[in-house]
A and B are shown apart, each in its own frame.
Chain A
Amino acid sequence: MFIINCPYCGDRDQTEFSCHGEAHIPRPTETKKMTDEEWGDYVFFRTNPKGYHRERWLHDHGCRRWFNALRHTVTDEFVASYKVEDPRPPIPDNGGQS
């Protein structure tokens, strides 16, 4: 049961949040011009890394705001959480240790 930092509310219990997978996948424009493969990439394919991962989170049972977080998928360490419009925080340079 994680403690997650909501950029709007502060530290809150995981039960208040839901995770919605990889962040920074913009919806393509001019979708009619896309091939099936390109569209399939956008809809279905995600990186699923073992290590640091930028994810979309929703503070469901709180302010109901969406934000992004940088989490380690093995240790569940949250390195940073940041607003949608914020610059991406760097991935720690520690060989995946936390």
Chain B
Amino acid sequence: MTQTHRLSEGGLVDRSKPLTFSFDGITYTGYRGDTLASALLANGVRLLGRSFKYHRPRGLIAAGSEEPNALMQLETGPYTEPNTRATCIELYDGLVAKSQNRWPSLGFDVGAANSLVARFLPAGFYYKTFMWPASMWMTYEKYIRKAAGLGVSPTEDDPDVYHGTYAHCDVLVIGAGPAGLAAATAAASGGARVMVLDENNTPGGALLGTSNNAASLEFIQRSVQSLERNENVQLLTRTTATGYYDYNYITAIEKVTDHMGPGKGGTAPRQRFWKIRAKQVVVAAGSIERPLVFADNDRPGVMLANAVGTYINRYGVLPGNDVVVFTNNDSAYQVAFDASESGGVVTVVDTRSSVQSSLKALLEEKNIKLFEGHAITSVQGAKGVESVRVMKLSADGDSVQGQAWEIDCSVVASSGGWTPSCHMVSQSGGKLKYIESIAAFVPDESRLKKTSPNISAGSCNGSFVTATCIQQGTQAGVDAATRCGLHGTAASSESFTVNEVPLGTISPLWLVPTTHPVGEGRSKHFHDFQNDVTAADIQLAAREGFVSVEHLKRYTTTGMATDQGKTSNLNALAIMANIQGVSIPEVGTTTFRPPYTPLTLGAVGGQESRELFIQERHTPMHEWHVDNGAEFEDVGDWKRSWYYPKAGEDMHSAVQRETLAVRESVGMLDASTLGKIDIQGKDAIKLIEMAYTNNWQKLAIGSCRYGLMLNEHGMIFDDGVTTRLGENHYHMTTTTGGAARVMGWLEEWLQTEWPEWEVYCTSVTEQWAVMAINGPKARELLQSITDIDVSKDAFPFMTMREGKVAGVPARVYRISFTGELAYEINVPARYGKHLIEALAAAGKKFDLCPYGTEAMHVLRAEKGFIIVGQDTDGTVTPHDMDMDWIVSKTKEEYLGNRSQVRIDTQRTARPQLIGLLTEDPTVVLPEGAHIVSEVSDAPPMPTIGHVTSSYMSPNAGRSIALALLQDGINRKGDVVTLRLMNGEVHRATVSDTVFVDAEGVRVRG
């Protein structure tokens, strides 16, 4: 294949460095400096993809990141990436790309049949058609997504590495075009720390795409050199500012090694995600040309005028020999001149009835034919433009008349004017204002004027002449530096000639008429190419009442694709404005959302993925658990031992064995993860009295008590045992998951409500390692390794003793979460592993069995002990839990007290905790199963409660469950019905919540 469309000279590509690449299996050659788009164009490849909905043939429209059509499946295997824009892929040797959304091939696509039934696929089609029956959506969805899809996601793990980084600067400049470079230069001259971001691989912006641009390139080089020499300046290319958030917080994605090809980046990350905090932000993001919306304007070969200019001037590619320039403003005339200079045969079709004479003279000089006051009414050529038909426009522009001229051409360069890139300013909450003279919105006031004033410069501010852009940029740089308390200076004014034609008098023609009304006949007027939305869809939306800009967007899906409507949004608004007979600002704009262009999620995650995503918390005994074959469970960030399977055991049998062992001999559990708070100070008792529902005044030193915490709504939010260590010294324990929450809760009250109280709370969760030993042989086991007198009378239930255990200092609490004789041995964390090893060794003769959290759950449920967050859900009171015994009737105040007697907490039929015994004792109900008052074949059924805990209890010899049931406490003995998701129906008797040792003898043994 030869590069048929490559010019013999000119452009910024390096013709001495040929690169080979493949597209849809065919090998082509391009040059260093090409994008995939320019290289394909150089090879005469126009058909690059099929459209989203109608599967129409599509080619390039743009030369930059606004490209809506040329979406590629780039590379293969684990490196494959869908929906990459060919215009943003720098060519490298060996690049492999495939077109998308076509089957079996790009040239012959079965889905193109959609085009034939296009009249049945209007806006809102899917909403209307697949609404009913709702249950069928799951079936439809698969096929719809398949038909309307874009690229294919990789199925293998991403082998690339991504980094994230933070930066701070005085002035951040978004865009390194003429305005951005000038702004950065001016700001840096005042000593500001400056960062400049540009999505291109080379600074220069639009100047790179102008003809005879030696002077422009000199300006760029001069600016870049002076910036790079300045150690306060960081100039990042291949870096797109993706989001502009409050207080000048900017995110950006830097494509560090993408341009080298997959796996070729060495040790560098593939991409880097920047989070930048700037004191001031100068937005110099440029502007995007708007396509004219005319009949069949999506044929491959219909491009934006400036894209044609850029391909000629930057890449040395003439997209086609016969070029029709179709415009409503002067700027596209430069493209006509450039194409003509490059040997193209050019015709200009201008919708305006009178073009200024100086331009006409230039056209004549270059032998370019001009149709004034004319419009393109149709485009011929199925897979690429072959010719266009041109007719005279009526005076009001609403219709065409007279003779139709047929012009043979392969390229249509269309310009409907320029849309400033207001994305960044809008994202940050800034307003936009409409400027008639350029028929577009520009940035207006920012939301936070003091810290983030709107400092926009250049064409994103509505200036389309290079000299003005540089002037504005310089002023913006000075302003930004001044706002940072520095003194930026305007460098000697830059003056050089750029081949450009100013916008002139733009005459908006938002919807170009054709020989029949829009929406009738087979031709389509596209305004949103990527989501396949036409002017007729907007008309339909208006007819059906979806006139607000937000409704319009969602109903037609205009502006919702991966290009976020970069080329389409303003056209859509204007067409709607015309239909309604209101002004464009009256229709309004939607707020731009980040990211500006699609970004790799892997880059946002950076290094914080997989095992680094959340830091795991390990107890001091973790290694022992691993060595002893524990399976682990996540509890908060903790890894807790779940169960210890022996050879051949599944989870069920291991848990049953561990549960039995605790009640038959003795078991040990790592309880280190429980939250622990050391509370000291003369007012400590006041805090404890307020935090818990029960009385604490008479608790003796060395004694423990169980407590329940409520929020001010009166709902249970944590529980635990607190021990009085000294006169004004307490040791509070909390649930594992609630440790930080309780600590925060106590601090909140102390700092905001009772700052005068003398209380100090210190989290000591990680300072203590805790082993709980439970079971009838717990005392003997403990006695064998401690100097503490553990006899029944010397160390009664709910007390604490200090002494040595296994030779190290310990606090031993005689408390129990299993209803067995139990001790919780606390040692300084550094002795944790030593303690568990000592227990394991000493435990051999007592048949000591290590058990995990699952057996712990069964054991506590056998005793009806609740787990906050499992049996409670933030909507239950102590009364609902049948725990009135723990609520003080005499205390004046405690948190949540008054809510206990609110009408709602006192009403009957509140869900209350009860036990459930299934009719069939082998049935273990699933947790979450609903108790229903009536059974029917399918939901909905009236629910009167649900199962919160459910296990097979080896000690009760049957299944047991805890449940919340309406008015449950009064229903003990009743039989209720449960209906499961799979349709099974079970009956169960409402019981007490204690299933083992109801008298509580064992715990006091």
Contacts and interface: CB of A to CB of B under 8 A. Distances in A.
Contacts of A29: 893
Interface in B309-338: none
Contacts of B447: 74-76
Interface in A47-98: 56, 58, 60, 64-66, 74-77, 84-85, 98
A26 B899 contact: no
Contact of A39 (B448, B755, B899): B899
Interface in B459-513: none
Interface in A14-46: 14, 20, 26-27, 29-32, 34, 36, 39-40, 42-43
A77 B751 contact: no
Nearest to B747: A64
Contacts of B277: 3, 13
B898 A31 contact: yes
Interface residues of A, number: 31
Given A31-B893, A66-B747, A2 B247 contact: yes
Nearest to B449: A98
Interface in B735-755: 744, 747-748, 751-753, 755
Contact of A58 (B448, B713, B748): B748
A9 interface: no
Contacts of B246: 1-2, 14, 76
B865 interface: no
A84 B713 contact: no
B905 to A, nearest CB: 10
Q: A14, A77, A84: which has the most chain B beta carbons within 10 Å?
A: A77
A58 B902 contact: no
B892 interface: yes
Contacts of A42: 712
A34 B247 CA distance: 44
A31 B751 contact: no
B489 to A, nearest CB: 28
Contacts of B744: 58, 60
A6 B448 CA distance: 20
Nearest to B895: A27
A84 B245 contact: no
B395 interface: no
Contact of B450 (A30, A43, A98): A98
Nearest to B902: A36
A42 B753 CA distance: 14
A3 B249 CA distance: 9
A27 B247 contact: no
Contacts of B448: 75-77, 98
B903 interface: yes
Q: B748, B751, B752, B899: which has the most chain A beta carbons within 10 Å?
A: B752
A26 B753 contact: yes
Interface string B445-461: 00111110000000000
Nearest to A40: B902
Q: A20, A30, A31, A65: which has the most chain B beta carbons within 10 Å?
A: A31
A39 B449 contact: no
A85 B756 CA distance: 11
B251 to A, nearest CB: 9
Contacts of B752: 56, 66, 84
Contacts of B899: 39, 43
B897 interface: yes
Contacts of A27: 712, 753
11 contacts: A1-B247, A26-B753, A32-B892, A32-B897, A36-B902, A66-B751, A66-B752, A74-B447, A84-B755, A85-B755, A98-B449
Given A66-B748, A98-B448, 15 more contacts: A1-B245, A2-B247, A3-B247, A20-B748, A26-B753, A29-B893, A31-B893, A32-B892, A36-B902, A36-B903, A74-B447, A76-B246, A76-B447, A77-B448, A77-B451
Interface of A: 1-3, 13-14, 20, 26-27, 29-32, 34, 36, 39-40, 42-43, 56, 58, 60, 64-66, 74-77, 84-85, 98
Q: Which 8 A/B pairs are nearest by Cβ-Cβ distance?
A: A1-B249, A31-B898, A66-B751, A3-B247, A1-B245, A39-B898, A43-B712, A66-B752
